[in-house]
Amino acid sequence: MFQLHPEKQDDWWEVEALYDLCFAPGRTALSSYRLRDGVDPITDLSLVARDGDGILAGAIRVWPVMVAGQLALLTGPIAVHPTRQGEGLGGLLIRETIDRARRTGWHRMLLVGDHPYYGRFGFTKLHDVVMPAPTNPDRVLGLDLIKNAWVGIAGPVEKAGGNL
Ligand SMILES: CC(C)(COP(=O)(O)OP(=O)(O)OC[C@H]1O[C@@H](n2cnc3c(N)ncnc32)[C@H](O)[C@@H]1OP(=O)(O)O)[C@@H](O)C(=O)NCCC(=O)NCCS
C-alpha cells in the first residue's frame, strides 16, 4: 500500500530523479516549464507516494497559473515509477490532488496530457485556452472544481506572479 503526503523540501531531488526516469530527456525544455520557472509549486497539492518501505513510487506537482486574469492550477508533472505503473497509483494521486484542490477552494485545473487517460477524471478539452507554443492544442485539458469554472475563460496561459 502507498502513503500519500505533501511533498517536502527534502523530497525535491528524489522527485526530480523520478521525473527524469519517466519522461523523455530534455523535459525541462518544454514550453510548459517556462510557466513554472521561478514560481513555487503549491505545497498542499503537490504529493509524493511512498510504499511501506518509504521508497518513492509516484509524485505529482501543481503550479498556479493565470488565464484571462483568473487563477488556475497547472497540474503535473505526474509520474509513477515504471515498476509501479498500472496499479492505480496514478489515479490515486490525481484524485487526491483534485479532492484537496476542491477542499482548499480552488476553482479550476488544467493540464497538458492524453485525453484517453485524463478523461476518466473528468478532464475535457479546453478549446479557448492556449498553452505556450508548440503545445498541441488537443492536449490542453481542463477540469471544473466548481460549476462552470472554465465557462467564458479564454486566452493564453500565463505565469502567476509571486508565490501563493
Ligand atoms: C501516466 C502515468 C502517471 C499513469 O500512472 P499509473 O499508475 O500507471 O496509472 P493507473 O494505474 O492509475 O492507470 C492505468 C491505466 O491508465 C492507462 N494509461 C496510462 N497512460 C495512458 C495514456 N497516456 N493514455 C491512455 N491511457 C493511459 C493504462 O493503459 C491503464 O489502463 P487500464 O486501467 O485500462 O488498464 C504513468 O504511466 C507514468 O508515469 N507515465 C510516464 C510519465 C507520463 O507520461 N506522465 C503523464 C504526463 S501527461
**Residue 164 is assigned to a structural domain of this protein:** no
| 72, three cell numbers | 488556475
**Residue 62 is assigned to a structural domain of this protein:** yes
- Quick one: DSSP state of residue 148? T
pTM of the model: 0.95
Q: To test ligand 1's pocket by mutation, which of 85, 112, 120 has the most ligand atoms within 8 angstroms of CB?
A: 85
Q: What is the pLDDT of residues 88-133, one digit of tens each?
A: 999 999 999 999 999 999 999 999 999 999 999 999 999 999 999 9
- Tell me, using a 6 A CB cutoff, whether residue 73 lines ligand 1: no
- Tell me, using a 6 A CB cutoff, whether residue 60 lines ligand 1: no
What confidence score (pLDDT) does residue 140 get?
A: 98
Q: Which CATH number belongs to the domain containing residue 122 in this structure?
A: 3.40.630.30
Number of domains in the chain: 1
Helix intervals (H) in the chain: 12-22, 89-103, 115-118
Share of the chain above pLDDT 70, in %: 98
Cβ neighbors of 36 (< 8 A, separation 6 or more) are 63, 74
**Residue 84 is assigned to a structural domain of this protein:** yes
Q: What is the pLDDT of residues 2-28, one digit of tens each?
A: 999 999 999 999 999 999 999 999 999
